[in-house]
Amino acid sequence: MAIPLKYNIRNLFVRKITTGLTVLGIGLVVAVFLSVMSLSEGLARVFKASGSTRNVLVLRQNSQSEVQSGISRNQVPLILTLPGIEKDIDGNPLASSELVVMLNLKKIDGGASNVTLRGISEKSPLLRPQFKLIEGRMFSPGLSEVIVSRSISERFKNCRLGDTIHFGVYKWKVVGIFDAGGTAPDSEIWTDVEGAMNSFKRPSYSSVLVRTTDKASRDQFIAALAGDPRLALEGKVERVYYDEQTSTAAPIKFFGIFIGVIMAIGAGFGAMNTMYAAVSTRTKEIAMLRVLGFSRLAILTSFIVEALCLALLGGLLGCLLGILTVELALSGVTGTTNFTTFSEVVFAFRLTPKILLTGIILSLFIGLFGGILPATQAAFTKIILALRQIE
């Protein structure tokens, strides 16, 4: 027969202060873990959602990113003759030659960061379905005009609609604000590619983005590109290209798990303390239960359950604190450096149900770890000695 759950729960509330302190401790550990994980998730989310599986990004061989790549003008027509490219309604290939430049811009709340300026071609918005112009208008080629993502306009100086951004000797007018649904362009400023190449005196493009008709033709295109001896270029599926940049989030995730584990063990020791204290004050009580006929197993389980309940309370508190922190203090977008492109990547903290679940599981582990030894001690109390005990 099992000991009723009520017994354990009542016991938790008898010693309010101790229970409270332990629950708070576990709660904080879980909250910290959740915060760091939601940072990592938010960052990774930008890369996972960006890019389409039907687009192929053409770069120079061995380039890790567009910044390191270069494609000369005369190579572009050769690329466009390769098989697999989708055509638009006029029968022209759906492709966009682009230039990527890093601009060092000042942030609104101090410091500066590299922001990606992307020179695009006419077809570019067609290749990026999440792109949406929300304010103002599209830039007119050749007039030193740019459009800025909403996130960038909120984080950097002089990037709002109507402002003028100065780089070098050139002034660029912001004529539109766009939104890219949390994907890579949300960290970019767009202008026309010819104007950009002119201003920055770049003789070649950084990349060519190509839309293929389906998976088979996509693979056909990539193979044809790799096999062409005249072009030292390689094609990457756009989605894969962005996926690989999650290396930026890797240190943070590692850090979060590393800290989470160490702190969990620390909190586990704290929980163990509480449980040991609980067991030692209730020695006579436990002996009574044994006399009444409850088995050792029942006692063991009972105390483990008590520890788990304690930890679960902490876990729930931690989730609550985590949600409050992310919704209140960490809402809105923030940015850090994308290590692959060495420029700003804008993201938002994301606390998903999956992360919350991980937090709860962490708290249960703490409970199990903290409860097992005291529970074992309780289960193996010698009845006679315990009943004889005065204190």
Partner 1 sequence: MKLLPLILKNVFRKKARAILTIGSIILPLLVICLMGTFLRLLDRPDPAETRGMFRIVTRHKVGLASPLPMSYAEKIQQLDGAFAVTKFNWFGGKYIDNSARNFFARFAVEPETLVQVFDDATITQGSATDWFNDRAGSLVGEDLMKKFGWRIGDQIVLIGDIYPVTIQLTIRAVYQLPDGDSDALFFNREYLEEALPSFQGKVGTIWTKCRDGAAATRLSDEIDQMFENSPYPTKTETEKAFQMGFVSMLGNVKLLITSLGTIVVFVILLIAANTMALSARERIREIALLRTLGFSRVTILMLTLGESLMLALFGGILGLGLFVVGFRPLKASLINTPLSGFATAMTLFPEVLLLGLAITIFVGLFSGLVPAIQASMRPITEGLRHIG
What residues from 164 to 183 belong to the interface with partner 1 (CB under 8 A)?
Answer: 167-169
332 binds partner 1 (CB under 8 A): no
Closest separation between CB of residue 250 and partner 1, Å? 4
323 binds partner 1 (CB under 8 A): no
Among residues 34, 57, 103, 386, the one that binds partner 1 under rule CB under 8 A: 103
Which lies closer to partner 1 via its Cβ, residue 59 or residue 85? 59
State how far the Cα of 35 lies from the Cα of 14, in Å rounded to an integer.
32
Phi then psi dihedrals of residue 117, to 5 deg: -100, 125
Question: Could you tell me how many residues of this chain bind partner 1 (CB under 8 A)?
Answer: 65
**DSSP structure string for 280-333:** HHTHHHHHHHHHHT--HHHHHHHHHHHHHHHHHHHHHHHHHHHHHIIIIIS-SE
State how far the Cα of 181 lies from the Cα of 331, in Å rounded to an integer.
16
Q: What is the CB neighbour count within 10 angstroms for residue 105?
A: 21
128: enclosing H helix or E strand:
none
Among residues 337, 357, 388, 389, the one that binds partner 1 under rule CB under 8 A: 337
Which lies closer to partner 1 via its Cβ, residue 4 or residue 266? 266
**Are 211 and 86 in contact, with CB atoms under 8 Å apart?**
yes
Query: For the window 117-156, what string marks contact with partner 1 as x by the rule CB under 8 A?
Result: ----------------------------------------
307 binds partner 1 (CB under 8 A): no
Q: Strands, DSSP E only, in the chain?
A: 55-60, 95-106, 112-120, 132-136, 145-149, 164-167, 170-179, 188-192, 207-211, 233-237, 333-338, 343-348
State how far the Cα of 118 lies from the Cα of 100, in Å rounded to an integer.
5
Among residues 158, 295, 336, 376, the one that binds partner 1 under rule CB under 8 A: 336
Among residues 113, 149, 207, 381, the one that binds partner 1 under rule CB under 8 A: 113
Closest separation between CB of residue 383 and partner 1, Å? 21
What residues from 272 to 291 belong to the interface with partner 1 (CB under 8 A)?
Answer: 272-274, 276-277, 281
Which lies closer to partner 1 via its Cβ, residue 166 or residue 354? 166
Which lies closer to partner 1 via its Cβ, residue 54 or residue 155? 155
Closest separation between CB of residue 19 and partner 1, Å? 10
**Are 220 and 83 in contact, with CB atoms under 8 Å apart?**
yes
State how far the Cα of 221 lies from the Cα of 67, in Å rounded to an integer.
23
Among residues 1, 6, 13, 17, the one that binds partner 1 under rule CB under 8 A: 17
Stretch that binds partner 1, among 136-144, 215-223, 296-304, 337-345 (CB under 8 A): 337-345
229 binds partner 1 (CB under 8 A): no
